[in-house]
A and B are shown apart, each in its own frame.
Chain A
Amino acid sequence: QQQVKQSPQSLIVQKGGISIINCAYENTAFDYFPWYQQFPGKGPALLIAIRPDVSEKKEGRFTISFNKSAKQFSLHIMDSQPGDSATYFCAGAGTALIFGKGTTLSVSS
């Protein structure tokens, strides 16, 4: 399976700050890039997604930036809140969803 590399592994951000998580992919056949959010004891839930013909997508405080030529995309969480503390996974989709290894975000109050 083609990899999706995600960084950082963990992130601590002050309340009100910006959280940034980066991902890089190898498989140019990927045509859908979702981000999932997972709380302890729960399954992942779709947060936001983008297709490669768009360079940016914003939904509320969450923004995906996509750079097709660099094969990179990132999640920005503006005005981070303690309730955003969770594990975030990026993924690339072709014939299957291939996930990054996750970023554990802690937002301190």
Chain B
Amino acid sequence: KAGVTQTPRYLIKTRGQQVTLSCSPISGHRSVSWYQQTPGQGLQFLFEYFSETQRNKGNFPGRFSGRQFSNSRSEMNVSTLELGDSALYLCASSLDRASYNEQFFGPGTRLTVL
């Protein structure tokens, strides 16, 4: 079956702009989590959605937001982009509670903020 897909794969934005990233989970998976990966901070948890509800949120400013649709697809939005937002944004899906089930990661969206 198809894996987790993320679009776009690469994105270049300028400071102050906003960006929306998309994630389609594996068919049947209801939990979607988002992570930010940078060389300095590693993989950091952003938030988790299950059944269209945000279940958990990491320590990121309110500029980072997300949502999940009824088909489990998820989007994350970053407003007022800063240079430090340049990172690989990874989406992961799992059958149920993300913490207890294997999370399948997508290839990520590489965001560059100029």
Contact = CB atoms under 8 A, between A and B. Distances in A.
Interface of A: 1, 32, 34, 36, 41-46, 49, 89, 93-102
B58 interface: yes
Given A93-B100, A99-B42, A42 B90 contact: no
Given A96-B56, A99-B35, 6 more contacts: A1-B59, A32-B100, A44-B90, A93-B100, A95-B56, A102-B42
Interface of B: 4, 33, 35, 41-45, 48, 56, 58-59, 90, 92, 98-100, 102-108
Given A43-B108, A96-B48, A101 B103 contact: no
A98 B90 contact: no
Contact of A41 (B33, B99, B107): B107
Nearest to B45: A96
Contacts of B107: 41-43
B105 A44 contact: yes
A46 B41 CA distance: 20
B54 to A, nearest CB: 12
B98 A96 contact: yes
B99 A32 contact: yes
Contacts of A102: 42-43
A46 B43 CA distance: 14
Contact of B58 (A1, A46, A93, A101): A1
A36 B45 CA distance: 15
A44 B45 CA distance: 14
12 contacts: A1-B45, A42-B107, A43-B4, A43-B105, A45-B105, A94-B99, A96-B99, A97-B45, A97-B98, A97-B103, A99-B44, A99-B45
A36 B92 CA distance: 12
A89 B43 contact: yes
Given A43-B90, A89-B42, A97 B105 contact: no
A43 B5 CA distance: 11
B93 to A, nearest CB: 11
Contacts of A41: 107
